[in-house]
Amino acid sequence: MLQIDDAGSGSLIGGTCIGLYLPEHNIFKYDFIPLECYTPENFKQKKYQKYVVYIISNFFKELDIPLDEEIQLCQGYIFDFLREYLTLKGYRWNSVKIEGALQEKVEKAFENYAISLGLPQSYISYTKFPFHFHKLLRWVYADYDNRKQFCKSGWKSWLKYGNLPIKTSYGNMNSSGYFCLKCGKKIKAKSPIKILEFMSNKKNIIYVHQDC
């Protein structure tokens, strides 16, 4: 039996991790759908779903997966083209809810990937929903010019909220426990800060070091 799952398809930041797992042999393979598949035109053409087929077909060749292998496939829409491909090739597959080892492995792979793009470990560790759209939007606007390149630009939500006006002001940090969303380091109480404000689905206030 083999299992196929994804992580990051719902994250504004980065591409999407596609993972394959053979439990009996503890073999885990993964690759990423690149952000190029999420540009407005490519997203409209569902290039990200087509790229899933490219990833999995390469894994199948590498691992020499036989046609009679039982395949458990995540229920997500991202695998729609893969389902057609598997059926066409004569593989046996079922859409199921993936849990356990593969889910943990593929989510960890995406988390490490997001960190490699600059998302702070502290943001992931201490934020209840680290890949929630509006929480990630705050991280993007903390360093907009450098971080907009990491966004799934074809998303309707990005087209709506991805180019908002930002109000900048300056002050001092009156509380403790805040982290700078630009450099990721802690902001000391009473230290000078830059304050960024924008309106998405609600008013957002971002604190960064004055010199960041």
The residue that leads in pLDDT, 119 or 131, is 119
* 174 shares a domain with 105: no
* 150 shares a domain with 112: no
* 106 shares a domain with 188: no
Amino acid occupying residue 184: G
From 116, 133, 164, the end of a domain falls on 116
* 54 shares a domain with 132: no
- Give per-residue pLDDT as tens, 15-29: 999 999 999 999 999
Mean pLDDT for 62-91 is 97
Q: Find where tokens 């066409």 sit.
A: 88
Distance CA 147, CA 196 (A): 15
Are 147 and 139 a contacting pair, CB within 8 Å?
yes
Question: Nearest-CA neighbor of 2 among 85, 68, 78?
Answer: 68
* 101 shares a domain with 34: yes
* 168 shares a domain with 106: no
pLDDT band for position 129 (cuts 50, 70, 90): low
Q: Which long-range contacts (CB under 8 A, 24 or more apart) does 97-101 make?
A: 98/3, 98/4, 98/5, 98/72, 98/74, 101/21, 101/23
* 90 shares a domain with 163: no
Across 178-189, b (16+ Cβ under 10 Å) vs e yields: bbbbbbbeebee
* 144 shares a domain with 63: no
State yes or no: pLDDT of 125 exceeds 90: no
Distance CA 22, CA 1 (A): 6
State yes or no: pLDDT of 127 exceeds 80: no
Residues of the chain above pLDDT 90, percent: 88
Mean pLDDT for 56-68 is 97
State yes or no: pLDDT of 128 exceeds 60: no
In CATH, what number is assigned to the domain containing residue 52?
A: 3.30.420.10
* 17 shares a domain with 51: yes
pLDDT band for position 176 (cuts 50, 70, 90): confident
Q: In terms of residues, how long is the chain? A: 212
Q: Quote the domain boundaries for residue 144.
A: 121-209
* 133 shares a domain with 47: no
* 96 shares a domain with 34: yes
Distance CA 204, CA 95 (A): 39
Question: Nearest-CA neighbor of 135 among 125, 123, 121, 147?
Answer: 123
The number of domains in the chain is 2
Mean pLDDT of the chain: 94
State yes or no: pLDDT of 157 exceeds 60: yes
* 179 shares a domain with 110: no
From 87, 116, 145, the end of a domain falls on 116
From 64, 96, 116, the end of a domain falls on 116
Return the half-sphere exposure (C-beta side, CA atoms, 13 A cut-off) of residue 181: 24
Residues of the chain above pLDDT 70, percent: 97
